[in-house]
Structure 1
Amino acid sequence: MSLDQSMPDQEASLARSTQRSQEIEAEIQKDPSKFRILTGDRPTGHLHIGHYFGSLQNRVRLADLGIDTMVLIADYQVITDRDGVGPIRERVYSLLTDYLAVGLDPRTVTIFTHSSIPALNQLMLPFLSIVTDAELRRNPTVKAELDDTGDRPMSGLMLTYPVHQAADILFCKANLVPVGKDQLPHLELARVIARRFDERYGRADEAQQVFPEPEALLSRSGTVLGLDGQKMSKSKGNTIELRMSADETAKLIKRAVTDSDRHITYDPVNRPEVSNLVNIAALALERDPFEIAAELGDAGGGGLKKLATEAINEYFAPIRARRAELEADPGYLASVLADGNARANAIADQTLAEVRTAMQMRY
């Protein structure tokens, strides 16, 4: 298929996913108990405001609505594209602290780590048997890795990364996954694996299926760029981390890229750096970015940065205060993770038992 042919297909698929996400939102309002969500992050660095406005805020909203929510700290996935784990213990607990500080309630939300759930990872074996090498290599993340590796061989774990993600979703029978549009191919493979497993092992009857086919809930938030106008990324050092102080935030925003035009407008296409700061301020103030830009008028980059700094620091002050309290109680953090791992293990063991039964491997 040519690029010209594939683009309309992608656009049509995105339109369908967007429409279905709107329908799911309506269903959530009627009966949140029918859903289980799986979401999470790789502990490769510290979470930042892009993570917060892009996903964490929405996770809290969905959990507060009463949806059964599973949050994965994907520690095994750190080594898919790295030679080591780095300061992984510190980063795992940093993620956990951020999750609790932003409002995820460990009494109702299950927070767990990959490496603590053996039965989840064991699902990789039957799942790998029902996908092909070609299907894995067509996955956008794997393709990007192949293009970027140069002479360096790609690891087997990187090649099977999409299957590992499918195991993350299916081990707990999550039927809803909050994603951005670039993550839809990963979710589609999880749907394919769920369907193929039940077809191969004689459970095509919906009432007898081991795995539900998970659906996407597309993110409602736009992308928050980094302070240099590029994609906000832990690896680029262009982020405002949730753990940063008000002074650190002010210094970073002061160095943010703008332009020479003193008149502030919200125009993401033609003025991405200025518009990004306007957007950050608008998100923190929970207001429309066009209104923010109009009020700033000829305030220039200095006025814009002052407003963005004040808005971010005021918005995140209670989250930062709660984070400091949590950091001071490492015993509590360890107990939250232990409880979450225990809950996830019970779910994974039950699912693996069902898988082994379907495969006639219960001895």
Structure 2
Amino acid sequence: MLVEKTQTQPIYSIPSIRNYRWSTHLDLLRGLASLLVFIGHMRILLFIEYSEINNPSFLIKRLNSLTVLGHQSVMIFFVLSGFFISASVIKRIRQKQWSWVNYLVDRLTRLYIVLIPALLLSSFWDFLGVKIFGTGQDSFYGEKFHNEHLATYKILENFTFQNALGTLAFVQTIFVDLFGSNKAVWSLAYEFWYYIIFPSIILFFFVKSLRARVLYACLASGILLMVGSEIRIYFLVWLMGALVSISHPSKYLNNKNILKSLTLLSILILCIALISERFIGREIADFFVGISTAVMIYLLVNSRSQIKQGGAYEKFSRGLAGCSYTLYLVHMPILCFIRACVIGDRPWEPDILHIFLALIIVLFVFLYAVVISHFTEAKTGKFRNLIMSWIKNRTLNQA
């Protein structure tokens, strides 16, 4: 999903995010979170519900535990996003380098360079699926998603130009429905409006002009009213990452044993929070996931663990993170098409053969996303510089 490291540093005095070793750990965290979302959707689309399995084996129980964490993984993305974006925003404002134009170019280029191709690919796979399999009662594209778990609508009903435009304007789930089979785009509406609300709130306290303060207060309030209660609630999860970015390191963290113990404890709490939804409810579990993720990031930021530069761990983490946003946005439509192609009326039983086939599908879709990321996500910097150059040249020509 959408989490990008900025080239700025958090508010307290630590080395640059871009160069510091702990960023490798955060790369791994966001990469694994993206994989969990992807694998979770794969399980729901291809396999029967866990409740329908008679006497599940130990292996099936463990696999089920790993493939039900997609929603919770989005909470991890929110906290990471809050951490990186808030640090960048506050630093620019404090150094009097704030520019809405530069900020929006940064955010929108990062969003659109993957979102636009993802919507085009969604259109391709959904159109192909409808043409091949039709929209009758026996067609996956004519009926609701498998067990109505992923969505409660027919793909064709949401495969509209209006929903595509609404997604590009980040008002999906607010004013329009999700586009076609690509349910994963729901979180981008949350992210985008958090990107606007947060600097508006911070600028309210930093600007001296009364008119500007009223303007920012109205902007933040208006957006919070517009987006609805759920987006407002999860803004608190996003702010947990922002809280980490302005937190100062504790003197107690200089003790390696204490730091290691607290890091392991935060990981344990995160694991418990990830699997506790059925017992305490989704929203409360989501807040626990957010809190434990924020604590983990805080501890990682303040650790001094040494990572071999250019080593296998660093390469793997950066590589996985480098395609995470693309994987998040492009996996659903092709998974739906594969589901329609390989599965009949009833989803698979989780036996050895079908688990092996699912692993092949996972590998294929992952490589599909990696290839796309080389033409999208990997080009974010170049695309951003191109847009900024165009804006500067246009400004000079008008001067």
- Normalising by structure 2, report the TM-score: 0.27
The answer to which structure has the higher strand fraction is: 1
Structure showing the higher helix proportion among its residues: 2
